[in-house]
Amino acid sequence: MAKYNKVSEAVIRRLPKYYRYLKDMEKNGVQRISSRELSDKMGLTASQIRQDFNCFGGFGQQGYGYNVSELCNEIRKILGLHKNYNVIIAGAGNLGQALANYIGFEREGFYIKAIFDVNPRLIGMSIRGIQIMDIDAMKDFITNNDIQVGVVCVPKDKAQEVTNQMVESGIKSIWNFAPIDVETPDDVAVENVHLSDTLYTLVYKMNEI
Amino acid sequence: MAKYNKVSEAVIRRLPKYYRYLKDMEKNGVQRISSRELSDKMGLTASQIRQDFNCFGGFGQQGYGYNVSELCNEIRKILGLHKNYNVIIAGAGNLGQALANYIGFEREGFYIKAIFDVNPRLIGMSIRGIQIMDIDAMKDFITNNDIQVGVVCVPKDKAQEVTNQMVESGIKSIWNFAPIDVETPDDVAVENVHLSDTLYTLVYKMNEI
């Protein structure tokens, strides 16, 4: 159920960045921060930050600044990171394995339960204790293991098919790394990550400097 | 030298998406498209698209639509993708290998010239003909091989150090995948890619549906 109907995509996309910065500050023992200081660190204006936070009811008192650890917790809750999520990865190639190997996800409550592939040489192996299984077993696994997040790391021409299988089995969010925009029904969230987009932005910036 | 001084970050970030959509249309034989049709496909408003294109002088005639392949070429040039770039990757772990294995980059003119790592078991191996070399040889390699783009796929605690080495050797753009914002001098472009940001946005969206 939508709690923050009017929050723009741009604000939503800044939330993870706030969260990252605040977590770092918390870790470094910073207890309180003004929107001015936060804006200096993050390269946003102080007014932008106040506006963003007001979308969620605002978290600070004027002139008094934000309690870093409270603010961090609030944003964690807004993002939904106070809950745990069960995750599967389709595709045990380099990228699928890189994601399976990254322990940072677990720290935020994302538990990778299995990886699926078509390659018989990979099936049966495991990565950090996470089994690589036959992709034919994926739909049953999703149904039986309360999986919320499906990660798509298969080749471009299989990405939509695998996404459909995930959706049919009840997955409610798709994190897609194949270089194509996969489509999902309205009640299934999707993020199509296009790694090359940031590379193109990078060379644009380099050429502009 | 800056050609488009007033172009906002948001517009710059949309350019690669326009490019992707236009390339796909071109490939599918679409010759002409109105800003209305383009907006439907891309989930932007037609007025937004016209505004974006006006930042670069505009590419269409009112009521007549855009020539897909001309527009695609223009955006390719604006992004700087009509040129070739020499690339190195630091870190031959799963992610470094995944990037080295992705042939899509070459199609856009990004040539990976070498991969560097500290692991003696990886040094000397090669991926699609790209050699994995000792990271101690990285600085000399950059200096001698006209490298423009450095990709950082090393662990978080080594990312800034490796970035500094790249910058000292003359690299002008850093594409960083370590989960930390690396810093560069003003004349070196940087994109800090935070994969987990899109995961957090995804679960936010899922919880809002």
CA distance linking residue B95 with residue A120, whole number of Å:
22
**From the CA of A81, how many Å to the nearest CA of chain B?**
7
ipTM at complex level:
0.92
Q: What is the pLDDT of residues B197-209, one digit of tens each?
A: 999 999 999 998 8
For A86, phi then psi, to 5°, come to -95, 135
Q: What is the DSSP letter of A135?
A: G
Confidence of residue B158 (pLDDT cuts 50, 70, 90): very high
CB A134 within 8 A of CB A126: no
Q: Which residues, other chains included, contact B98 with Cβ-Cβ below 8 Å and sequence gap of 6+?
A: A93, A94, A95, A98
Of A21, A28, A107, residue with least CA distance to A71: A21
The residue type at B199: L
Provide the token pair at B155: 């662990």
Q: What is the pLDDT of residues A74-125, one digit of tens each?
A: 999 999 999 999 999 999 999 999 999 888 899 999 999 999 999 999 999 9
**Helices marked H in chain A:** 9-27, 35-42, 46-54, 68-79, 94-101, 104-107, 138-145, 156-168, 195-208
Q: What is the SS3 string spanning B131-146?
A: EEEEHHHHHHHHHHHC
Task: Name which of A175, A200, A205 is nearest B198 (Cβ-Cβ).
Answer: A175
Best residue of B193, B202, B209 to probe chain A, by most A CBs closer than 10 Å: B202
- Prediction pTM value: 0.89
Task: Name which of A13, A188, A202 is nearest B175 (Cβ-Cβ).
Answer: A202
Interface of B with A in 110-169 (CB under 8 A): 110, 148-149
Q: What pLDDT does A62 receive?
A: 61
Closest residue in A to B80 (Cα) is A204
Task: Name which of A174, A188, A202 is nearest B191 (Cβ-Cβ).
Answer: A202
C-beta atoms surrounding A136 within 10 Å: 11
**From the CA of B40, how many Å to the nearest CA of chain A?**
14
Task: Report the sign of the C-alpha dihedral through residues B61, B62, B64, B66, in that order.
Answer: positive
Best residue of A55, A194, A199, A201 to probe chain B, by most B CBs closer than 10 Å: A199
Domain B9-79 in CATH 1.10.10.10 = yes
Which residues on chain B are in Cβ contact (under 8 Å) with A99?
A: 195
| Residues linked to residue A89 through DSSP beta bridges, in sequence order | A115, A151
Contact B209 A187 (CB under 8 A): yes
For each of chain A's 209 residues, which pLDDT tens digit applies?
Answer: 456 666 888 888 899 999 999 999 999 999 999 888 888 888 888 888 888 888 887 776 666 788 999 999 999 999 999 999 999 999 999 999 999 988 889 999 999 999 999 999 999 999 999 999 999 999 999 999 999 999 999 999 999 999 999 999 999 999 999 988 999 999 999 999 999 999 999 999 999 88
Any chain A CB within 8 A of the CB of B204? yes
CATH architecture of the domain A85-196 equals 3-Layer(aba) Sandwich (3.40)
Q: Which residues, other chains included, contact B167 with Cβ-Cβ below 8 Å and sequence gap of 6+?
A: B174, B184, B185, B188
Best residue of A11, A86, A94 to probe chain B, by most B CBs closer than 10 Å: A94
What per-residue string of b and e applies to A159-175 under the rule 16 or more CB within 10 Å gives b? bbebbebbbebebbbbb
Any chain B CB within 8 A of the CB of A6? no
Domains B9-79 and B85-196 share a fold: no
Residue spans of beta strands (DSSP E) within chain B: 32-33, 66-67, 85-90, 110-117, 126-127, 130-134, 149-152, 173-176, 189-192
Closest residue in A to B149 (Cα) is A203
Of B170, B173, B129, residue with least CA distance to B152: B173
**Domain extent listing, chain B:** 9-79, 85-196
Any chain A CB within 8 A of the CB of B6? no
CA distance linking residue B196 with residue A17, whole number of Å:
10
CA distance linking residue A71 with residue A82, whole number of Å:
13
C-beta atoms surrounding A127 within 10 Å: 19
